[in-house]
Structure 1
């Protein structure tokens, strides 16, 4: 049981000049959704291995990551196999596979380079602005109802004005004469609560996977009878683009809090397949702390964007993964 930064432990003990490297670690039993490790947390372990792989090169910053989740991971030892596909002047392309019990569970392609601040920022009228309404100092902590074992290490404050846009009587609802529009939205300030924690590039995949899925945002009469608490939302694919370097902690930027914004547009078959778009923003303060002052919004910027394809499965499927928690034996490896 460990805070996020402690749960990010990976090690490499091979030759320092090897082109393909194998990193090893153990998935922490607390960073799970029910019995299955959170997909963003496990992807963060892959990214941590790749950051270490690139540490001595000119391209130390993750720029882009695409991951395919081939099979659910388990609370067990893992290996991350990292290999350079191409090293160029501006970018390095890597592949990285997370392997457990001799099976590839996640396969990824990553681009590393040098991350700079974007040019399209306030006060430009074309700049994307912080999409949350309330300053963290005035935000009320929201109860987490998801089956997250890592809840002791995190908290969030959902943006109620964004949630109001999902009501049936909201002006954002569509009709037969509407062009575009539709979908559902969610946003929140999200904080790693352990005092020594820091938002780092490694945390971005985890943060990109923290949101309320589109089906759970639907009004009750639109859910086709399902109960959100009885549903597991496994990720099938996740792509992340890193937009800006993470700023040092200061009076303008919190050390362990970010703003999260999510939109979902489409939901259908098979298996309740649905989409998610997520933005990760800097925060001016931790939840319930700091002071709102003029111009605080213009000082915040987007750290990363992510798109995801997820499914809806009964929580019984998640619960059945408990059999993988014990160390693998030859018999279990055949399951």
Structure 2
């Protein structure tokens, strides 16, 4: 199975008179059961927008918002990108992911599966941020002297952890791996006597197998990581195994804030001077409410000091948590529906509407 970087690659096809540029791609392998993974789809769309913006002053994605109208199917897709506005500081893009209603049958009608809006800008280089925030510099570095400088929520070094078993429904489990759950740092952990719902959060490390999947260089991969987590209903004590077998958790909407400029560099002023892992990131996730299965999800993507079960925590020094960089924060609305709905996706014909 190929790399994620290869699987999200799109190529420019043509430009319409209205100014919309069309990119061709192919959805394959990165499936949850029979449905393409939502973060993978957003990564594919972001690959197209990166090409669209490559010759402009605004090459850094700052924000995106996505609505999933109906699940994609494996096969050919078109990503249509149009510039809505471009000012001195911001460029706004309108993006649609299209598929033929009968996949790969050009005689069938096109269906819009996902609609996205992007904000692009020119993010500052970390070296320009300064060591501590002030009236002229409102950036808070992980290693700044400010009490508001928050370390990564992951309190365990990845070298201390073992690889955990991947869900059978992950069709891409041969090229990725995740760690066992990680202890949460005291900055993000509620008092032990707090209400149980305040503990509906957790974290783990996530690694790519292929060397081509370099998270320090490719911002498009962050979209995939920002949709990798355990859903809130799975975190309810005693519900994990039962919920995981019976249900599917499709994403309805997802917004993503990008917090770092790519390619990544080390944190200015950090004492160790070490570089983040190219293959591994830390994922912190939390759910605030669940209503008849409909639930919110917040996911933070952080750099990792190394790979899962690799290296020595002592080599990075005690400062590794402060030196981690926050790459992105996503929020989403997801559902809990019977897994049988996922199983039917592969057999649907001429589907023009959502079955969620």
Question: What residue in structure 2 maps to residue 107 of structure 1?
Answer: 115
1:263-286 Cα offsets, whole Å, 9 max, x none, are: 1010013xx100100100011111
Question: What residue in structure 2 maps to residue 2 of structure 1?
Answer: 2
TM-score, normalization: structure 2? Answer: 0.82
- Residue ranges of structure 1 left out of the alignment (5+ in a row): 164-169, 176-180, 325-330
Please tell me whether the aligned partners of residues 207 and 307 of structure 2 are also in contact (alpha carbons under 8 angstroms). Answer: yes
TM-score, normalization: structure 1? Answer: 0.87
Question: What residue in structure 1 maps to residue 260 of structure 2?
Answer: 244
Residues 323-334 of structure 1 mapped to structure 2, 5 A cutoff: 323-324=347-348, 332=350
Cα distance change, pair 90–273 in 1 and its aligned pair in 2 (3 A): same
Aligned-residue CA RMSD (Å): 2.4
Once residues 227 and 307 of structure 1 are traced to their aligned partners in structure 2, the CA distance between those partners, rounded to angstroms, is: 21
Question: What residue in structure 2 maps to residue 27 of structure 1?
Answer: 27
Please tell me whether the aligned partners of residues 155 and 321 of structure 2 are also in contact (alpha carbons under 8 angstroms). Answer: no
Once residues 18 and 54 of structure 1 are traced to their aligned partners in structure 2, the CA distance between those partners, rounded to angstroms, is: 17
> What SS class does the counterpart of residue 280 from structure 1 fall into?
strand
Instruction: Compute the displacement of 1:112 (Å).
Output: 0.3
Question: What residue in structure 2 maps to residue 297 of structure 1?
Answer: 321
> What SS class does the counterpart of residue 276 from structure 2 fall into?
coil
Once residues 16 and 103 of structure 1 are traced to their aligned partners in structure 2, the CA distance between those partners, rounded to angstroms, is: 18
Instruction: Compute the displacement of 1:205 (Å).
Output: 1.3
Moved more, 288-297 or 11-20: 11-20
Instruction: Say how many residue pairs are matched.
Output: 313
> What SS class does the counterpart of residue 278 from structure 2 fall into?
coil
- Residue ranges of structure 2 left out of the alignment (5+ in a row): 101-109, 130-138, 186-190, 267-272
Instruction: Compute the displacement of 1:334 (Å).
Output: 6.1
1:114-150 Cα offsets, whole Å, 9 max, x none, are: 1234620123211121100111111211112251001
Match for residue 341 of structure 2 among 304, 317, 320: 317
Moved more, 207-216 or 242-251: 242-251
1:1-39 Cα offsets, whole Å, 9 max, x none, are: 4210110121113259983101111101x1000000001
Please tell me whether the aligned partners of residues 64 and 111 of structure 1 are also in contact (alpha carbons under 8 angstroms). Answer: yes
Please tell me whether the aligned partners of residues 183 and 265 of structure 1 are also in contact (alpha carbons under 8 angstroms). Answer: no
